[in-house]
Amino acid sequence: MTDQGAAPFAAPVHPQVAGRRVEQRRPVPRPVGAGWRQRLEILVFVAPALALMAVFVVWPVASAVRMSFFHWKGFGPMDEFIGLDNYRLVLTDDVFRHAVLHNFIIVGLSILIQLPLGLAIALLLNRRIRGRGVLRTIIFVPYVVAEVIAGVVWYQLLQPESGVIDGLIRAIGLTPPEQGFLGTPELALGTVFVVLTWKYLGLAILLFLAGLQGVPDELFEAAQLDGAGWWQVQRRIAIPLLGPTIRTWAFLSMIGSLQLFDMVWILTGGGPANATTTMATYLITMGTARHNYGIAGAASVILFVVGFLMALLYQVFVLRRDTAVER
């Protein structure tokens, strides 16, 4: 018998075997210049992207910032420095302040209407129903249609008197607005949002469907075996697990609503009576129509700052829970 406190018996190791083990553990020396070669390879692959970003992002932003400090009509030398006067004119302009309000109204309506609508459709299309693939394609088609084409088609549909929408309203015994939906200030912004919902709802549905595909079927089957109904399964399992996808879509929708331009420009041009003006249409109008490029530059800088701050705050307070590393 051996004492319990005694060390266990260890077989002797031959010195040559021990030396061989030590040699195997030695790190293999890297060839001279391997680090510089790797950095050069990374630079070669990244350089085209950095060049494109510098030309199409950094340089335009820097030009807009420089332009915002000058009184410039778009031709001749840019030598009339006026400091922050352009920012003062933009921030005190009622049209621009209403434009900011319209952008935030679109942001709020997107979250309040497009989110539950897209989520409901995604949950229904995730069920095993006949023609599910065809329905998914039909719903996603508006998103892939170019904004110009979609805007022109809806502009023709919403024409007063001759438009299809007015004809359908009269066919059911109602009276459409005399100036049309796009020509009535009280209805124009809501009409634009309806078109935006038709255009971009497919993206939300696609993202939510992709998120639902990542939920294991075993969770649904276990819940159904425990007696949970379809709605209980969706409310207790599917929707909570879609949290990261919903927050990502909300971020994309928020940034897109702040940069909204093309659809509004085609449908209304910011009218009637500035009822649908956004920050993007405001700066384009100031720059191209009124040739106040200094004011347009100041408005673009303000738009950039608003979008950057909102993205930063959303990242810090909302998306951080999805990107935080568990310790």
- Residue pLDDT, tens place only, 273-312: 999 999 999 999 998 888 889 999 999 999 999 999 998 9
Least confident of 185-199, 200-214, 218-232: 218-232
Report the distance separating Cα 176 and Cα 162, nearest Å.
Answer: 12
Q: Which residues contact 188 (CB under 8 A, 6 or more apart)?
A: 181, 182, 268, 271, 272, 275, 276
Residue 326 has pLDDT above 50, yes or no: no
Higher-confidence residue: 21 or 248? 248
Residue whose token pair is 């621009």? 96
Question: Quick one: CATH architecture of 96-322?
Answer: Orthogonal Bundle (1.10)
Structure tokens at 303: 């738009």
DSSP notation for 77-125: ----B-TTHHHHHHHT-HHHHHHHHHHHHHHHHIIIIIHHHHHHHHHHH
Segments making up each domain of the chain, as ranges: 96-322
Residue 134 identity: V
The fraction of the chain above a pLDDT of 90, given in percent, is 42
pLDDT digits (tens, 9 = 90+) for 208-238: 988 888 877 777 778 777 777 777 877 888 8
